[in-house]
Structure 1
Amino acid sequence: MKRLSLFIALLLLAIGSQVTSAQELPNFLVIQCDDLGYGDLQCYGHPSIKTPNLNKLASQGVRFTSCYSAAPVCSPSRAGLVTGQTPTQVGIYDWIPGGSPMHVKASEHTVAKLLKSAGYQTGLFGKWHCNGMFNSPKQPQPGDLGFDYWFATQNNAAPSHENPKNFVRNGKEVGPTTGFSCQVVAAEASHWLEDINDDGKPFFALVTFHEPHEPIASPDDLVNTYPDADKRGQALYYANVTNMDRAVGSLMQTLDKLGLADNTLVLFTSDNGPETLDRYPNAWRSHGSPGPLRGMKLHIYDGGIRVPGIARFPGKLDAGIESDVPVCSLDILPTFCEMAGVEIPADAQLDGTSLVGLFRGQPIQRAKPLFWHYYRAYDNAKVAVRDGDWKLVALWDQGEVKPGAAYQKGDYSKIKDAKFTAFELYNLTEDIGETKDVSADHPQIVAQLKKALLEKYDQATANAPDWFAEAN
């Protein structure tokens, strides 16, 4: 692939700053997978998994090698994408079990709300996971957060990816569906594009596949294409990723059939790194790969937060491009709003940065480094910032809190009162695997990033809600 200069890397993201009419406004299609690892795609170097449609998508646009999610676990990552804010700041501290009081509040500015205000049609298809009381008037639902049309589940497809029974369409339970979840979701999104939305208006579609999160189920014809897999669980996982790739291909065919491809920015990514094998009983099929990165899902190291990222905008981006410019799902909201000519409210406390300035030959100007916090991350490494080549990891004094156990009573004080006792510094350009802590060699960089990290942590936790106190 051709290497990409800073200016050209995100040229596609600058298109909308000078548009003047609804017909000229770009469409947006974001595809987000669940637990797809940085190394899980063929175009990211996986030696076995076949992903021809995503290979094609990458060949038609830009493949990011420093693309980040907002968090190393699902609900915070999704909340970050829709709000453009550090998830802790909006009170989404961990994955959200059914019945939890935790939710994205209706008062938040979301990308769907803001685009809708500019005349966009907005649709959500797949996994929601931004509230605990799904499809209940007790908490905001996707429709309350800006989605005109929604076809979603609270969390995973159940009982598995095959013939799921737990979808809700615009507040009404759908009942049993036929097929695998990614195809069910892609078919619903295609139906919306073809038959429901107004083709005179631009659209924003957020497609959130359940794959390859457990409980995994995959088509036999694809499982049988991996006879050399070491275990059946491995073959099921590989086939699951390939099945998701098929669903991506069907969405691209829909765009082509409707003549929408040339004016649609497609972004493909994942919510976090891959699940750790056998972390819980159903995870025996979780054979995802972080590639060369350290850690996996639930880690604050890059294996938990650096994910695949592919962008395509035909005619507005050179094909076959590779970029190592650090970008994040938090950047989606400000970038889309600038492209659509939408003014961001003055009270929005965004952590993402619009990438449109690159159109004018300027590097990305971040007011603050990229920031991540997950208080249940493995070991004591709970917070990190990245600025250019440098990443600073902060270790806290609370000891390890069981990873993946969900937010519980008593956790709020741990988050609010945390003190950070040690810091690790990595040069990610020279050491992508975060194997060598060079903090002793660069005290000035440590001091600079430590100041930014602690300031952002204080800001993120200052008004973060105590959900169990609010529920009483």
Structure 2
Amino acid sequence: MRTLSFLLAVTAVLVSATIASADQRPNFLVIMCDDLGYGDLECYGHPSIRTPNLNKLADEGVRFTSYYSAAPVCSPSRAGLITGQTPTQVGIYDWIPGGSPMHVRAEEVTLPRLLKQAGYETGLFGKWHCNGKFNSPQQPQPDDLGFDYWFATQNNAGPTHENPVNFVRNGKKVGPTEGFSCQVVADEAINWLSEVRRNDKPFFALVTFHEPHEPIASPDDLVKSYPDADKKGEALYYANVTNMDRAVGRLMAKVDELNLRDNTLVVFTSDNGPETLNRYSSAWRSHGSPGPLRGMKLHIYDGGIRVPGIARMPGKIDAGIESDFPVCSLDLLPTLCELGGAEVPTDAKLDGTSLAPMFAGEMVEREKPLFWHYYRAFGEAKVAVRDGDWKLVALWDRGNVKPGSAYKTGDYQLITKANFTDFELYNLTEDIGETNDLADQHPEIANRLKKALLHKYEEATANAINWYAEKK
């Protein structure tokens, strides 16, 4: 596999894994939205949606134009972020309905657990969606996977983003809350940062907003501020993204107020691409944009997996940088562990690559290409790899299956026994919209990536979990 390189201008080198003093190690604040499209932010080219706080965050750090989620759907994407592994490899194949047997197992290596073991204070705030039996002893909960403190919902904010009633704090139901979900989540994270966590320890906070996933609700003042959004539900969606931006601004203000700005790495991203308008009954407000990308949520094409990605750490990352180097949420586990001095087990089967060298202006070497697998993706394209400029997409022989309908009895065979019949090759630097299949023109590249794709697919499914194996 050829070496990928990336040089990021910096003014100082971040701490290495050999530094033992906690107060010298960086804090980590990772913010993830739900169904926010690549083209949904003002700083990513949206012509109408106002996101001043995220514009500022991008101006103060690096804006990635090839940032990828681990999957084109929520639960696998989140599982990938916390484990650093292809979601299929840890048994998270699709979104997890309430009551499902699917969950991230307690024995998995996780980012919060590794950082906690290294002396970090860890907190989760917002959407969890890594188990079906939420807040139950029958499955691991956020604290079992490494979070000291958690304030979360199993899936969406209910009944809508406005005044949600389904939050749980450290195993206890919270009951009705007042305000919109992103602000409720920001309030909890702000309180944890200022009043709950230990100030003598570095922290890792994972803030997972529900916005702009359905069912969408938005403040009236923001809805009215988009008078030109005349399609049904359009102003509601635009206002929803702007409200989330306000919550980000409040978080950043608190980081500054607590004098944490210079020693906190902030990463902002989304779990997958934007929801398709009218895909289901309540999706009439889903006016998200993939920008110039092909596909949307649930697609294996870039519209489903390429998302906004912004990173800021003043004094360590120069301001106003734009990078097209391909990175993925799978990279967060090895990167944050290296920067934070957390030891990753030598037998961990990570698919992400540490980006820590780039903070020292050095090359990043990716030993294997980025990989995605979603057996219920729209269309026949179910698997893809990206290596540098090139992306190979694999199509299977089983036609269409209903996208996003969740893992069911019998799906194990679809996941583990796929036959791939056709392969498409795209140069994403020259063809961001994946419109020109170059497999016939570049057979040597297609064959090389095909071997890598099939090898990783076999590896990811070799020990696949059959969650309904006990049922006849």
Q: Which residue of 1 aligns with 2:270?
A: 270
**Separation in 2, partners of 1:335, 1:84:** 10
**Separation in 2, partners of 1:470, 1:166:** 31
Q: Which residue of 2 aligns with 1:298?
A: 298
Change in Cα spacing, 1:17 to 1:431, as seen in structure 2 (3 Å) is same
Instruction: Compute the displacement of 1:8 (Å).
Output: 1.2
Instruction: Compute the displacement of 1:415 (Å).
Output: 1.0
Q: Deviations over 1:129-174 (max 9, x none)?
A: 0000000000000000000000000000000000000000000000
Kindly indicate whether the alpha-carbon contact (under 8 Å) linking 2:9 and 2:361 is maintained by their aligned counterparts in 1.
no
Q: Which residue of 2 aligns with 1:148?
A: 148
Instruction: Compute the displacement of 1:346 (Å).
Output: 1.6
- AA matched with 2:338: E
Q: Which residue of 1 aligns with 2:86?
A: 86
- AA matched with 1:89: Q
Q: Which residue of 1 aligns with 2:394?
A: 394
Aligned runs of 1:332-371 on 2, under 5 Å?
332-359=332-359, 361-371=361-371
Change in Cα spacing, 1:371 to 1:384, as seen in structure 2 (3 Å) is same
Instruction: Compute the displacement of 1:11 (Å).
Output: 8.3
Instruction: Compute the displacement of 1:364 (Å).
Output: 1.9
Change in Cα spacing, 1:178 to 1:355, as seen in structure 2 (3 Å) is same
Greater share of helix: 1
**Separation in 1, partners of 2:470, 2:177:** 37
**Separation in 2, partners of 1:224, 1:335:** 42
Q: Deviations over 1:315-345 (max 9, x none)?
A: 1111011000000000000000000111210
Instruction: Compute the displacement of 1:416 (Å).
Output: 1.0
Q: Deviations over 1:72-122 (max 9, x none)?
A: 000000000000000000000000000000000000010000000011000
Q: Which residue of 2 aligns with 1:76?
A: 76
- AA matched with 1:47: P
Instruction: Compute the displacement of 1:66 (Å).
Output: 0.3
Cα RMSD of the aligned pairs, angstroms, is 1.3
**Separation in 2, partners of 1:11, 1:272:** 32
- AA matched with 1:422: D
Q: Which residue of 2 aligns with 1:111?
A: 111
Kindly indicate whether the alpha-carbon contact (under 8 Å) linking 1:32 and 1:271 is maintained by their aligned counterparts in 2.
yes
**Separation in 2, partners of 1:211, 1:467:** 29
Q: Which residue of 1 aligns with 2:449?
A: 449
Change in Cα spacing, 1:248 to 1:13, as seen in structure 2 (3 Å) is farther
Unaligned runs of 5+ in 1: none
**Separation in 2, partners of 1:264, 1:34:** 23
What secondary structure does 2:133 align onto?
coil
Change in Cα spacing, 1:11 to 1:162, as seen in structure 2 (3 Å) is farther
Kindly indicate whether the alpha-carbon contact (under 8 Å) linking 1:88 and 1:464 is maintained by their aligned counterparts in 2.
yes
Change in Cα spacing, 1:265 to 1:444, as seen in structure 2 (3 Å) is same
Change in Cα spacing, 1:58 to 1:18, as seen in structure 2 (3 Å) is farther
**Separation in 2, partners of 1:11, 1:87:** 35
Q: Deviations over 1:352-399 (max 9, x none)?
A: 000112345432211110000000001100000000000000001122
Q: Which residue of 2 aligns with 1:315?
A: 315
TM-score, normalised via structure 2 length: 0.97
Kindly indicate whether the alpha-carbon contact (under 8 Å) linking 1:73 and 1:271 is maintained by their aligned counterparts in 2.
yes
TM-score, normalised via structure 1 length: 0.97
Q: Which residue of 1 aligns with 2:331?
A: 331
Kindly indicate whether the alpha-carbon contact (under 8 Å) linking 1:14 and 1:357 is maintained by their aligned counterparts in 2.
no
Kindly indicate whether the alpha-carbon contact (under 8 Å) linking 1:15 and 1:316 is maintained by their aligned counterparts in 2.
no
Kindly indicate whether the alpha-carbon contact (under 8 Å) linking 1:17 and 1:356 is maintained by their aligned counterparts in 2.
no
- State yes or no: 1:230 paired with 2:222: no
Change in Cα spacing, 1:167 to 1:10, as seen in structure 2 (3 Å) is farther
Change in Cα spacing, 1:32 to 1:470, as seen in structure 2 (3 Å) is farther
Change in Cα spacing, 1:364 to 1:160, as seen in structure 2 (3 Å) is same
Identity of aligned residues (%): 75
What secondary structure does 1:469 align onto?
coil
**Separation in 2, partners of 1:356, 1:53:** 26
Kindly indicate whether the alpha-carbon contact (under 8 Å) linking 2:385 and 2:449 is maintained by their aligned counterparts in 1.
yes
- AA matched with 1:331: D
**Separation in 1, partners of 2:449, 2:401:** 25
Structure 1 runs of 4+ off > 2 angstroms?
Answer: 9-20, 357-363
Change in Cα spacing, 1:115 to 1:399, as seen in structure 2 (3 Å) is same
- AA matched with 1:453: L
What secondary structure does 2:282 align onto?
helix
Q: Which residue of 1 aligns with 2:252?
A: 252
- State yes or no: 1:424 paired with 2:424: yes
Change in Cα spacing, 1:469 to 1:157, as seen in structure 2 (3 Å) is same
What secondary structure does 1:114 align onto?
helix
- State yes or no: 1:381 paired with 2:412: no
- State yes or no: 1:8 paired with 2:29: no
**Separation in 2, partners of 1:257, 1:374:** 42
What secondary structure does 1:126 align onto?
strand
